[in-house]
């Protein structure tokens, strides 16, 4: 039995002295009914709000639909369940560093509590009773396999308080539940099945359009943001007809989505999964337990899949929901008037590779041997990074070479958008290095998140403690808030951020002494063209 919100607050106060600092929020009337959450240090937090009906029963593997009326006062004091998770550790060895980072990106924990009933979002607002503030909607990372809007690194309280903005984070269907292309196997009833997760995101934006005004937000000033897989989701929404007019600015962090999956390849992967699951018809699809389906996915997926190798989940260019690759052969016309901020971190891959047994152990000879097996660009990338970073160890050069896809994808997407868009493009490169683990990670994947969310103090496991992390958080949260408010990123702690265009390719390098630089990774950017199939 769920305890009504007001009684829950009283019960918490009775058993926990810290709970006296919390109070209930105003009651907000949404399209589904009345909701009430808890105040978090002056910010009204509404957690676990349904933006769509549970995607179970007849709605399993079907497009999202609006949630049913609540039928009473809805308890918005806690996060909704994360969607079914398909998390695979990036290396065989867990380290103290990776375990510490689990405190803010709890991937292992969410596998224990995931659920198909997961279409929830969270809202943080300075005042649910009044105002018309910029809205910042966050789509989580984890590729298309795992993650949720409930990760502590994404807590929107500090960003909402600092910027006088409304922050929203979203859960959506993942892996086989969100991107299993069943159209070829089971026909028109499952025509949308390969893009369900992204349709969930569209539905969440429809909910924001229809309801965010009641939380003190402006539905006509919505910025969508995401990192890693979340950045790819933002990229795809920029090219989805059903998402048109639902957002007004876009931020892509370490996850440029230039291309989509291909329907035939996704259908073949789905067929392998169904075979492993013993599913021959829609009835079997409905009957299988969620965990059993994920077990079949693991059996059908090669051990070395990922990072461009082997089959994987994600949106497909089906010609309807996703008409084509988002940014090839050109940027999407529908987003020509959308200001875009896009960027990446200097050492993306250290986060993924730090748990590998060879990390920190290789020499130049081993690096050269590794490069020979890493594809046609690898040797060129290693040589370019040796010149760029003469102080880098062989381990960090290998990591940089593994991460060229972040660099090349970012510049390709920025090039495409800036060539045809009416709105400006702003590109950044995060070069500030975290001091944790004696600087082993340098500027890793996800480092930007606690900084732009202004959650540095709460994310010391990743960013470290002290004045430098605080300064970076102050600067970057300034810029993200400014972009959401005005469409131009700015901060008193950085120089004027110039728009990006070809051929100058002006980039803001984010560090303790930020600076604009022209085409700072030209050699890496050009490797893609030099090694493209002729």
Which of 140, 172, 236, 445 is flagged as catalytic? 445
239 closest CA partner among 201, 191, 188: 201
Which of 116, 348, 509, 521 is flagged as catalytic? 348
Q: Is 431:476 a contact under the CB 8 Å cutoff?
A: no
- Going from the C-alpha of 295 to that of each of 91, 117, 146, 265, 462, the distances in angstroms are 20, 19, 15, 20, 32
Which of 204, 228, 335, 418 is flagged as catalytic? 228
| Three-state DSSP state, 124 | strand
Q: What is the DSSP string of 175-236?
A: HHHHH---HHHH-GGGTTGGGHHHHHHHHHHHHHHHHGGGGTEEEEEEEEEEETHHHHHHHH
Instruction: Please state, in angstroms and rounded to a whole number, the distance separating the CA atoms of residues 66 and 506.
Output: 43
Task: Answer whether the bond into residue 46 is a cis peptide, omega within 30°.
Answer: no
| Three-state DSSP state, 4 | coil
- Going from the C-alpha of 97 to that of each of 93, 101, 209, 409, the distances in angstroms are 11, 6, 40, 28
Active site residue 445: yes
- Going from the C-alpha of 186 to that of each of 87, 175, 281, 460, the distances in angstroms are 27, 18, 7, 48
SS3 assignment for 26-61: CCEEECCEEEECEEECCEEEEEEEECCCCCCHHHCC
Q: Residues for the chain: how many in total?
A: 534
Instruction: Please state, in angstroms and rounded to a whole number, the distance separating the CA atoms of residues 400 and 348.
Output: 7
96 burial (CB, 10 Å; 0-12 / 13-18 / 19+) is exposed
Task: Answer whether the bond into residue 503 is a cis peptide, omega within 30°.
Answer: yes
456 closest CA partner among 439, 442, 480, 476: 476
Q: Is 77:47 a contact under the CB 8 Å cutoff?
A: yes
Instruction: Please state, in angstroms and rounded to a whole number, the distance separating the CA atoms of residues 330 and 347.
Output: 28
Give the position of tokens 């590109």: 427
Contacts of 324 (CB under 8 A, 6+ apart): 239, 260, 317
Catalytic (active-site) positions: 228, 348, 445
């Amino acid at each position: 039995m769920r305890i009504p919100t007001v009684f829950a607050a009283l019960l918490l106060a009775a058993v926990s002295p810290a709970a006296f600092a919390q109070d209930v929020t105003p009651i907000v009337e949404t399209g589904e009914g009345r909701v009430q959450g808890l105040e978090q240090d002056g910010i009204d937090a509404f957690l676990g709000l349904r933006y769509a009906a549970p995607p179970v029963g007849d709605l399993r593997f079907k497009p999202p639909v609006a949630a049913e009326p609540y039928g009473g006062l809805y308890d918005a004091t806690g996060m909704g369940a994360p969607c079914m998770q398909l998390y695979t550790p990036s290396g065989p060895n867990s380290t103290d560093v990776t375990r510490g980072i689990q405190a803010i990106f709890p991937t292992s924990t969410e596998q224990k509590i995931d659920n198909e009933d997961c279409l929830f979002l969270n809202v943080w607002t300075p005042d649910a009773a009044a105002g018309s503030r910029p809205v910042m909607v966050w789509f989580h990372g984890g590729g298309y396999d795992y993650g949720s809007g409930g990760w502590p690194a994404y807590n929107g309280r500090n960003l909402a308080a600092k910027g006088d903005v409304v922050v929203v984070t979203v859960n959506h269907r993942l892996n086989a539940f969100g991107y299993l292309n069943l159209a070829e196997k089971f026909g028109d009833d499952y025509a949308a099945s390969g893009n369900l997760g992204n349709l969930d995101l569209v539905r969440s934006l429809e909910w924001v359009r229809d309801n965010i005004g009641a939380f003190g937000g402006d539905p006509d000033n919505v910025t969508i943001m995401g990192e890693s897989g979340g950045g790819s989701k933002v990229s795809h929404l920029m090219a989805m007809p059903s998402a048109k007019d639902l957002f007004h600015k876009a931020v892509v962090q370490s996850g440029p989505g230039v291309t989509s999956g291909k329907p035939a390849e996704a259908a073949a992967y789905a067929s392998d999964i169904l075979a492993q699951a013993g599913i021959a018809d829609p009835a079997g699809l409905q009957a299988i337990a969620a965990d059993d389906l994920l077990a079949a996915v693991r059996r059908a997926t090669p051990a070395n899949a990922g990072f461009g190798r082997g089959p994987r989940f994600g949106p497909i260019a089906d010609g309807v929901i996703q008409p084509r690759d988002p940014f090839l052969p050109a940027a999407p016309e529908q987003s020509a008037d959308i200001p875009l901020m896009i960027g990446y971190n200097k050492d993306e891959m250290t986060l993924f590779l730090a748990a590998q047994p060879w990390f920190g152990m290789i020499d130049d000879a081993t690096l050269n041997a590794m490069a020979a097996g890493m594809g046609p660009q690898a040797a060129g990338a290693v040589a370019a990074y040796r010149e760029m970073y003469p102080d880098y160890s062989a381990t960090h050069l290998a990591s940089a070479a593994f991460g060229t896809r972040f660099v090349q994808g970012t510049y390709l997407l920025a090039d495409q958008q800036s060539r045809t868009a009416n709105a400006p493009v702003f590109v950044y490169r995060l070069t500030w290095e975290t001091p944790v683990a004696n600087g082993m990670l340098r500027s890793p994947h996800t480092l930007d998140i606690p900084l732009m969310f202004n959650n540095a103090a709460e994310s010391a496991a990743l960013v470290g403690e002290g004045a430098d992390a605080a300064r970076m958080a102050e600067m970057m949260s300034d810029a993200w808030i400014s972009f959401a408010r005005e469409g131009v990123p700015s901060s008193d702690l950085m120089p004027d951020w110039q728009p990006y265009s070809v051929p100058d390719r002006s980039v803001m390098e984010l560090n303790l002494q930020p600076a604009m630089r022209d085409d700072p990774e030209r050699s890496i950017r050009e490797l893609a063209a030099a090694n493209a199939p002729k």
